[in-house]
Amino acid sequence: MTLHAELAAELAARDGEGLRRRRRLLESPQRAHVRVDGRDYLAFCSNDYLGLASDPRIVAAAKEGAELHGVGAGASHLILGHAAAHHELELALAAFTGLPRALLFSTGYMANIGVVSALAGRGDAVFSDRLNHASLNDAALLSRAAFRRFPHNDLAALERQLINTPARRRLVIVDAVFSMDGDIAPVPELLGICARHDACLLIDDAHGFGVLGKRGRGTAAHFGIRSDHLIYMATLGKAAGVAGAFVAGSEVLVESLVQQARSYIYTTATPPLLAHALLESLRIIGEEQWRRDRLHQLVSRLKQGLRDSPWRLLPSDTPIQPLLVGGNAEALALSARLAEQGLLVPAIRPPTVPQGTARLRISLSADHEAGDVDRLVDALRQAA
């Protein structure tokens, strides 16, 4: 039983460092006001930025999708699992993002694994921002390409790495909106560097899709950029409120992924009812601008309210508003104190964020009211 003894010691060590993760039990649908572990809370924890995760119209579309397509896809896309609803969604996603073609994956994690390992391999090099999401790093490691990380948003360091690489194919990967910091990557500048050094840029827009850009078309639309050097990836379980992800780009890129992305090929297609629900979600994202307007108002209200807080909000104009606390124990204590008052805000600790930068990750949703933000601000003022 050496394995069990070792695991038990590792768990105990986690406890000692305040790093043990515990799962709360969500007993209501995902929304601003939730029931958790038998108690009602106001939550600032989800990535449901537009408040669509339990939208009745999308729920109705999911039911209709089940009636039309059944529940299980029953096969992978390349065998007989590619349902009409999947296909229609891919066409809609391409039209929505203004890119030639889109490919649906079951999750964002799988999309990143699939696209990076299909495009880069031995002899190639992947360049990754230090604050990138874990799925991008895992993807780079799995690809067997040389894996170079550059300091957060350090364009000069990236350019030096590109100048010095002997690799034939170069792929630069970044979060378009950094998931634990909320800042937006300098995508136009990154594209400029990629164009100069014959590299491709993959942006992971998990937190920008639906939120940024005209009609919520995402971070590329926010900057008004189009380029053959750009590969766009976004997830559909955050602002879109459902599940899944897609990669969009040129016809030849997407067709290559169909042929080569192992996390696309060797897995059962996502239930087509989800694709049917996502068509309704996409319609709502495009049409209901008030959701993005509301988010902007809530972000301003929170910043205003916490202007003279002892804890600093990191510079972010997105619904991800991290409050920098520092120590793990301090962040946990602050989160616990808010929870006592019926407010849920997660404490994010290493290794998700660098040592010494534990934080409360406040995430706002169009489902929040101005009064909800005021309640959080008041509680934080009292805790200070």
Q: Please, what is the minimum distance in Å from the beta carbon of residue 178 to ligand PLP?
A: 8
Determine, following the binding rule CB under 6 A, whether residue 107 of this chain makes contact with ligand PLP: yes
d(CA 308, CA 124): 48
Question: 161 vs 270, which CB is nearer to ligand PLP?
Answer: 270
d(CA 246, CA 2): 42
Asked if 274 and 62 touch (Cβ cutoff 8 Å), the reply is: yes
d(CA 303, CA 172): 32
Question: 96 vs 109, which CB is nearer to ligand PLP?
Answer: 109
**Exposed / middle / buried, residue 205 (Cβ in 10 Å: 0-12, 13-18, 19+):** buried
Tokens 């970044």 -> residue: 174
d(CA 85, CA 98): 20
Determine, following the binding rule CB under 6 A, whether residue 153 of this chain makes contact with ligand PLP: no
Among residues 109, 150, 209, 246, the one that binds ligand PLP under rule CB under 6 A: 109
Residue 378 main-chain phi, psi, to 5 deg:
-60, -45
Which residues, listed in sequence order, are joined to residue 231 by a DSSP beta bridge?
Answer: 202
Query: Coil, strand, or helix at residue 159?
Result: helix
Q: Please, what is the minimum distance in Å from the beta carbon of residue 67 to ligand PLP?
A: 26
Determine, following the binding rule CB under 6 A, whether residue 45 of this chain makes contact with ligand PLP: no
Question: 240 vs 343, which CB is nearer to ligand PLP?
Answer: 240
Angle at 223 between CA 217 and CA 226, to 5 degrees: 80
Residue 141: both structure tokens together: 């490691």
Q: Please, what is the minimum distance in Å from the beta carbon of residue 207 to ligand PLP?
A: 6
Of residues 191 through 220, those in contact with ligand PLP by CB under 6 A are 204, 206-207
Of residues 222 through 251, those in contact with ligand PLP by CB under 6 A are 235, 237, 245
**Interface mask (CB under 6 A) for ligand PLP, residues 132-151, using x and -?**
-x-x----------------
Task: Kindly indicate which of the ranges 28-36, 101-109, 210-218, 323-331 contains the residues binding ligand PLP, using the contact rule CB under 6 A.
Answer: 101-109
Question: 159 vs 183, which CB is nearer to ligand PLP?
Answer: 183
Residues found near ligand PLP in the complex (CB under 6 A)? 107-109, 112, 133, 135, 175, 179, 204, 206-207, 235, 237, 245
